[in-house]
Amino acid sequence: MSAEAVRALFNPRSIALVGATDKSGWSLATFDNLRNNGFPGPVHLVNPRTEIVHGERAHPSLSAIPEKVDLAYVMVPTHALLDVLREGAELGIRSYVVLTAGFGETGAEGRRLEREVAEFAREHGLILLGPNGNGYINAAAGITPYGLPIPAPLVRGPIGVVLQSGALASAVLNFAQARNVGISLLTAMGNETVLSVTDVIDYLVDDPATKVIALFLEQVRHPAEFARVARRAAQAGKPIVALKIGSSEIASHTAQAHTGALVGDDAVVDAAFRQLGVIRVRSLEDLLITAGLLAEIGKLPGRRIGVVTPSGGASEIIADRAAEEGLELPEYAPETVARLKEIVPEFATVQNPLDVTGYVVVDRTLLGRALEVVAEDPGIDAVLLLADLPRVPPPNPELSIAAFRENARRIRESPRPVAVLGNVCADVSEFGRMIQEKSGFPYVAGGIEHGMTALGAAARWSEAELSHVDDPEPLGVRGSGIWTEHQAAALLAANGIPVVPSELAADADAAVAAAEQFGYPVVLKAVADGLGHKSDIGGVRLGLSGPEDVRRAHEEVCATLRESGASGIGALVQPQRGGGVELLVGVVRDPSWGLTMAIGLGGVWVEVLRDSALRLLPVDHAQVRQALGELRGAALLQGARGSTPADLDTVADVVVRIGRLAQALGDGLESLEVNPLLVDGDRVEALDALVTWTR
């Protein structure tokens, strides 16, 4: 979709409502919306059977309109859509919003029709939002071809909203209005037959009216395209906040071995979002409040927050929530404490979080003066000010406005970003909205609970750095079926991944010779063509401490293999490693997002706890270090229980190499799993590996 075409769709100078009728609430709402929200251009009504619609003269067809039409808003019956598009294309109308439903969402016949629409649009270069969508609200430009009532006043501001659910649009508009969150553009996507979510994100990245992008997603239809636009948004410094449903879906089990169970659809979405700098939220409230706060405060220099409140109880709730969000509330510097002591009442305790006390009722300047001092503390990165907008006019509103204006100035002139949070998630009243407009007081996040979620997200987003890793050169290696340890280990070793020494022994004598060379104890593992799960058939023998052990083990293992009719029979002999911590490093191909790496602690950790961290490939050193830190059993790598602390840089190097090898193996790779990867201090060694190919 060309950027110019999307821009034209959202910025028409004239609109035709095709299928307009007094009998439809949608038609009436769309007409009213265009009339009441400042659309300056002509709105033409098209109805072949009625002369007067919505009190105005209607045209019998698009062709009958005497002027140029930029956008057609289509509400005709399902089967009439194509005719409208044909007529419009003939007339040179390029942009369409299609409210009409009855397409892919209804079944096979609808899907067929929808494909026809898509095909026609592609052939004739038409851009189309919908079908089965209510349209859009370009609040910044006052252009509102949108089929449901828009709650008044429509608050204009910096948030671009893209929704894959039409019904939720009303809830979003209600809440945005309630919390005074200003919107630049809101789009209800419908079936995404032509215009997709990613096209709109692309537009919003370039839209000067938009600072933050808020998404409600039922699915990510085009992951690669989504990744591209998310990276563009990050580069433009515009945060994306997303409510993506599906966290309750059962994880898919598509791949071999353990990794498959670790990589659920939703877990991969989580990993992808984090790597793309997309903030994932859990509720509509968090979606809008987080977007609103980010638009106000932008990038934070760090996580150290100075808190200023008029309430002890609220301070304590904030302290609890800050800990949950990973925000720090450092002690104030001595000079800050000294200055604050001069300001607050004698009985107040000067600390962070600061409660200036209920004396704010008597002294209107108290909170603001304390804010001014805290904002200059050298040990903090940002200020959290707890302040509600008034709900009802006090006896003297002018005094109230003046006080807010003074604090607005303090916030504007603060050397550090100031996030303002209210106590609870209640509406900004008409009076509150007026105060905010007249005083220039900034956005107030709705309540401590959601405001702290937003502040935590802002801090994490500010720290996120997109990796810039080049993809490796393809290796040209191709395989089929399963490569078991013997082949897989050779592949690893050839690509710079340390592997435990190993000898393939065809007979018992060779096995003993290998064991003598390694020194006892040794491990002996069955080898046969396509044998993936060798321990299931008793094919792994540990702790062999002499030649007789080795000989007997080799004979038993080979006998078992022969009985099962296997080919390519033999056994691997390896020195037995003791101590250390076992990791699992697996790469699988996710059907949507591509190669995905799971890093986990082996054994009981992965089997019982599913203790793992996911990353999309490519991964860089820093990302692997971070992933290792996310493991619940991370302490084990740091030397808990008397083990040698792992050399995490060496571990990360090896893991990055495993990822690059997986990428270099190309499209034929289904999965590559190193399990276990033994870590003992700075010794990092693959003890076993498995490669599966797509064919």
Residues in region 288-347 near a copy of itself by CB under 8 A: 310-314, 316-317, 319-320, 322-324, 346-347
Binding flag, residue 261, a copy of itself (CB under 8 A): no
Q: How far is the CB of 65 from a copy of itself (least distance, A)?
A: 28
Q: Contacting a copy of itself (CB under 8 A), which of 105, 437, 471, 509?
A: 105
Binding flag, residue 106, a copy of itself (CB under 8 A): yes
SS3 208: coil
SS3 514: helix
Stretch that binds a copy of itself, among 253-261, 386-394, 434-442, 541-549 (CB under 8 A): 386-394
Residues 131-150 that bind a copy of itself (CB under 8 A): 148
Residues 532-591 that bind a copy of itself (CB under 8 A): none
Q: Contacting a copy of itself (CB under 8 A), which of 426, 513, 540, 566?
A: 426
Q: Which is nearer to a copy of itself, 361 or 565 (CB)?
A: 361
The whole-angstrom separation of Cα 599 and Cα 620 is: 13
The whole-angstrom separation of Cα 310 and Cα 305 is: 16
Binding flag, residue 164, a copy of itself (CB under 8 A): yes
Residues 635-694 that bind a copy of itself (CB under 8 A): 635-636, 640-641
The whole-angstrom separation of Cα 304 and Cα 276 is: 24
Residues 6-65 that bind a copy of itself (CB under 8 A): 25-26
How many residues would you count in the chain?
A: 695
Q: How far is the CB of 389 from a copy of itself (least distance, A)?
A: 11
The whole-angstrom separation of Cα 198 and Cα 212 is: 15
Q: Which is nearer to a copy of itself, 68 or 391 (CB)?
A: 391
Q: How far is the CB of 429 from a copy of itself (least distance, A)?
A: 8
Stretch that binds a copy of itself, among 37-45, 233-241, 256-264, 283-291 (CB under 8 A): 283-291
Q: Which is nearer to a copy of itself, 407 or 423 (CB)?
A: 423
What are the residues whose beta carbons fall under 8 Å from the beta carbon of 338, sequence distance 6 or more?
A: none
Q: Which is nearer to a copy of itself, 308 or 497 (CB)?
A: 308
The separation between the first and the last C-alpha atoms of the chain, rounded to the nearest angstrom, is 35
Q: Which is nearer to a copy of itself, 365 or 495 (CB)?
A: 365
Q: Contacting a copy of itself (CB under 8 A), which of 41, 151, 479, 594?
A: 151
308: β partners: 354, 385
Burial-class residue 109 by CB neighbours within 10 Å (0-12, 13-18, 19+): exposed
- Report the amino acid identity of residue 1: M
For residues 674 and 618, the answer to whether their CB atoms sit within 8 Å is no
Q: Which is nearer to a copy of itself, 255 or 322 (CB)?
A: 322
Q: How many CB atoms lie within 10 A of CB 392?
A: 9
Binding flag, residue 166, a copy of itself (CB under 8 A): yes
The whole-angstrom separation of Cα 82 and Cα 121 is: 10
Q: Which is nearer to a copy of itself, 322 or 385 (CB)?
A: 322
Give the binding-site size for a copy of itself (rule: CB under 8 A): 75
Which DSSP letter does residue 193 get? Answer: S
For residues 14 and 66, the answer to whether their CB atoms sit within 8 Å is no
Binding flag, residue 265, a copy of itself (CB under 8 A): no
Binding flag, residue 370, a copy of itself (CB under 8 A): no
Residues 434-493 that bind a copy of itself (CB under 8 A): 446-449
What are the residues whose beta carbons fall under 8 Å from the beta carbon of 54, sequence distance 6 or more?
A: 20, 22, 27, 28, 31, 45
Q: Contacting a copy of itself (CB under 8 A), which of 92, 248, 342, 519?
A: 248
Residues 191-210 that bind a copy of itself (CB under 8 A): none
* DSSP secondary structure, 547-584, as one string: HHHHHHHHHHHHHHHHHTT-SS-EEEEEEPP-SSEEEE
Q: Which is nearer to a copy of itself, 35 or 122 (CB)?
A: 35
Which tokens go with 689?
């590996």
Stretch that binds a copy of itself, among 8-16, 229-237, 252-260, 417-425 (CB under 8 A): 417-425
Binding flag, residue 609, a copy of itself (CB under 8 A): yes
Binding flag, residue 108, a copy of itself (CB under 8 A): no
Q: How far is the CB of 646 from a copy of itself (least distance, A)?
A: 14
Residue of 453, 445, 428 lying closest to 297 (CA atoms): 445
What are the residues whose beta carbons fall under 8 Å from the beta carbon of 434, sequence distance 6 or more?
A: none
Q: Which is nearer to a copy of itself, 317 or 475 (CB)?
A: 317
Binding flag, residue 283, a copy of itself (CB under 8 A): yes
What is the distance of C-alpha 647 from the center of its chain? Answer: 31
Residue of 198, 141, 158 lying closest to 6 (CA atoms): 198
Stretch that binds a copy of itself, among 4-12, 226-234, 421-429, 557-565 (CB under 8 A): 421-429
Binding flag, residue 282, a copy of itself (CB under 8 A): yes
Q: Which is nearer to a copy of itself, 472 or 521 (CB)?
A: 521
Q: How many CB atoms lie within 10 A of CB 433?
A: 16
What are the residues whose beta carbons fall under 8 Å from the beta carbon of 331, sequence distance 6 or more?
A: 351, 352, 379
